[in-house]
Amino acid sequence: MAAFGPHSRPVYALGDDMAGRFEGRVAVVTGGVSGIGAGIAARLAAEGARLSLWDMDEAGLAASGAAHTVRLDVTDSAAVHRAAESAVAALGSIDILVTSAGITGPNMPTWEYPVEAWDRVIDINLKGVFYSNRAVVPFMRARNSGRIVNIASIAGKDGNPNASAYSASKAGVIGLTKSLGKELADTGIRVNCVTPAAVKTPLFTQMTQQQIDWMLSKIPIGRFGEIDEVASLVLWLASDECSFSTGGVFDISGGRAVY
Active site residues: 166
Tell the burial category of 137 from Cβ atoms under 10 Å away from its Cβ (0-12, 13-18, 19+): buried
How far is Cα 68 from Cα 192, in angstroms, rounded to an integer? 24
Tell the burial category of 119 from Cβ atoms under 10 Å away from its Cβ (0-12, 13-18, 19+): middle
3-state secondary structure (DSSP) of residue 14: coil
How far is Cα 98 from Cα 237, in angstroms, rounded to an integer? 10
Helix, strand, coil share (%) of the chain residues, nearest 5: 45, 15, 40
Q: How many CB atoms lie within 10 A of CB 130?
A: 18
DSSP state of 2: P
The number of C-alpha atoms within 13 Å of 52 and in the hemisphere containing its C-beta is 27
